[in-house]
Amino acid sequence: MSKFDIFKHELVPKAVVLSKEEVEELRRLYGIRKEQLPWIRRSDPMCRALGAKPGDVIKIIRKSPVAGEAIAYRYVVPW
């Protein structure tokens, strides 16, 4: 079975899993705990495509009509 790469779809934003150091920097930048980020389920197609595990933080780079490019972060939770 061929697997469809969701990131090839134009409506799916780019996303990457952050490294430990990057997460640490992000936490310091916003002064928050990881759980205070918006959550995303591990079962979300984006997490599955990235292979993100619970506890990871993913960075999402979206197209934005007002800002051109907007960056968001998601904390991966189980389920």
Partner 1 sequence: MSSLTKSIKSIKFGLLSPEEIRKMSVVNIVTADTYDEDGLPIDGGLMDRRLGVIDPGQKCQTCGNRVGQCPGHFGHIELARPVIHSGFAKNIFLILKSTCWNCGRILLTKEDYEKYSRLMKKYKERWPHLCYKITDKIIKKTKLQECPYCGRKQYKIKFEKPTTYYEEHPEGNIKLTPSEVRTRLEKIPDQDVELLGLDPNVARPEWMVLTVLPVPPSSVRPSITLESGVRSEDDLTHKLVDIIRINERLKENIDAGAPQLIIEDLWELLQYHVTTYFDNETSGIPPARHRSGRPLRTIAQRLKGKEGRFRSNLSGKRVDFSARTVISPDPYLSINEVGVPLDVAKILTIPERVTKLNIQEMKKLIENGPDIHPGANYIIRPDGRRIDLRFPKDRKAIAESLDIGYIVERHIRDGDIVLFNRQPSLHRMSIMAHKVRVLPYKTFRLNLCVCPPYNADFDGDEMNLHVPQSEEARAEALILMLVQEQILSPRYGGPIIGAIQDYISGAYLLTRKDTLLTREEVSQLLINSNYEGELPPPAIKEPEERWTGKQLVSLFLPKDFNFVGRANVCNKCDYCKKEDCPYDAYVIIRNGLLISGVLDKKIIGAGQPESVLHRLVKDYGTDVAKEFMDKAFRLFLTFIDGKGFTIGIDEEELPREAKDRIRVIIEEAEQKTMKLIQIYNDGLLERLPGRTLEETLETKIMQVLEEAREKAGEIASQYLSEKNSALIMARTGARGSLMNLAHIMACVGQQSIRGERIHRGYYNRSLPHFKPGDLGAKAHGFVYSSYKDRLNPIEFFFHSMGGREGLVDTAVRTSQSGYMQRRLINALQDLRAEYDGTVRTTNGLVVQFKYGEDGVDPAKSDHGKAVNIDKIIEKMMGA
What is the binding site for partner 1 (CB under 8 A)? 30-32, 36-38, 54-55, 64, 66-67, 70-73, 77-79
Q: How far is the CB of 30 from partner 1 (least distance, A)?
A: 6
State the minimum distance, in angstroms, from the CB of residue 38 to partner 1: 6
Identity of the residue, 19 or 64, whose beta carbon is nearer to partner 1 in the bound complex: 64
Residue 52: alpha-carbon gap to chain centroid: 9
67: exposed, middle or buried (C-beta count within 10 Å: 0-12, 13-18, 19+)? exposed
Question: Tokens 């916003």 label which residue?
Answer: 30
